Structure 1
Amino acid sequence: MENTGIRWVDRFIIAAIIQGGIITVLALTVIAFQIIFPQVNIMQHLSLSFGGPAKWFFLGIIFYLIIVVAVAVTALFYYHIEMNLNRKFSTGLKTLAWIHLIGMNVGGAGAMLYMTFAGLAGSGVLSLFTEGTLGKQDLAIMDSFIEPIGAFVGFLGIGVICGGITFVLAYRQKE
């Protein structure tokens, strides 16, 4: 296949690398705050309050890691279509692929980062970053995160559906 520019496989690999970088920065930030505030064991505090809002933190992190892997694995599908099957993307397929790329990355990352932030805010850990002391759990604040998380998940869903349509249509194309 002639190299006519960046392929979809490249776009998804680059996106996975960027997403991996974001989750790494998030992890390093939590470690840095643990070093800055050694009197408070942040992970222990979150673990002890797992029954409450802190579970959103852990689920956000776990789902974010899944998004990173999903974006990387998606590149394999595009590799198969572009390299093995030697399919070309029409304007319509390119549009669907762009929606897939943006929806998966913006929707997925947005929802998971919002969940992570909500867990920190609701468990009182966020006040450690802003005020230097642990706050109390605030279950009421969690309600304000539901709509934005839902919107990002909806955007993720639209992206994944468009990706599925892209795969099916590209796969069924005549050579």
Structure 2
Amino acid sequence: MINDMHRTKWGNRFIITAIIQGGIMTLLALSMVASQFIFANNFDMIQFLSLSFEGPAKWFFLGIIFYLIFIVAIAVTAIFYIHLEINLRRQISGILKVLAWIHLLGMNIGGPLTTLLMIFAGLSGSGVMSVFIEGKIGPQNIEILNALTTPIAISIGILSIGVICGGLAYTLTYLKGNNLIKGGH
């Protein structure tokens, strides 16, 4: 079993990035708890969360939820690569290796960037970011959502390119191993 784990380069890469993304999410959660303690007199996280599906604050919750789903997606992707590399004994090489790298980078740049921008838009648009500057919740600012629409769309594009390239890398590697593609073994 130990030898098998050393043969799954791509599975290990995706598992490691899922762990890193989980760490980032944990730090984000801890920073929210810490901010509640630091700004306890001026900011009530429970009140904010209870109102978070109204106005721009819903972007905060959606960003958090999508980030959690995204971490699970990376871990599941690792299982796909482990299946290819260990169970099916497929090698990811040549252009397929380039596609797998695009997959890894696209998921780990586009996904977090999208969700973190959504979280920032929710905190800023709801006035919560002003707690850190002014010490109190400020007015809602819907303009921040408009300003972040394009960067969020670009981030989703990066994520999508990564996922499409990963789907191609996985499918073509799978088919190549079944001799369904010319030159496969």
Q: Structure 2-normalised TM-score?
A: 0.90
Q: Provide the residue aligned with 2:32 in structure 1.
A: 30
Candidates 16, 20, 25, aligned match of 1:14: 16
Question: Sequence identity of aligned pairs in percent?
Answer: 56
**Preserved contact between residue 103 and residue 156 of structure 1 (Cα < 8 Å):** yes
Q: Provide the residue aligned with 2:181 in structure 1.
A: none
Q: Provide the residue aligned with 2:66 in structure 1.
A: 63
Shift of 1:50: 2.0
Q: Provide the residue aligned with 1:124 in structure 2.
A: 127
Query: Structure 1 CA distance, aligned partners of 2:19 and 2:164?
Result: 22
Q: Provide the residue aligned with 2:136 in structure 1.
A: 133
Q: Structure 1-normalised TM-score?
A: 0.95
Map residues 26-175 of structure 1 onto 2, 5 A cutoff. 26-39=28-41, 40-174=43-177, 175=185
The 1:3–1:16 alpha-carbon spacing in structure 2 relative to 1, beyond 3 Å, is closer
Structure 1 residues 38-47 or 151-160, which shifts more? 38-47
**Preserved contact between residue 126 and residue 140 of structure 2 (Cα < 8 Å):** yes
How much is the aligned-residue C-alpha RMSD, in angstroms? 1.6
Q: Deviations over 1:27-82 (max 9, x none)?
A: 00010000011122123124325220000000000000001000001000000000
One-letter code aligned to 1:131: E
Q: Which runs of 5+ in 2 are unaligned?
A: 178-184
Query: Structure 2 CA distance, aligned partners of 1:147 and 1:73?
Result: 29
Q: Which runs of 5+ in 1 are unaligned?
A: none
One-letter code aligned to 2:22: G
Query: Structure 2 CA distance, aligned partners of 1:97 and 1:130?
Result: 42
**Preserved contact between residue 71 and residue 104 of structure 1 (Cα < 8 Å):** yes
SS state at 1:89 partner: coil
SS state at 1:173 partner: helix
Between structure 1 and structure 2, the one with the greater Rg is 2
Shift of 1:6: 6.7
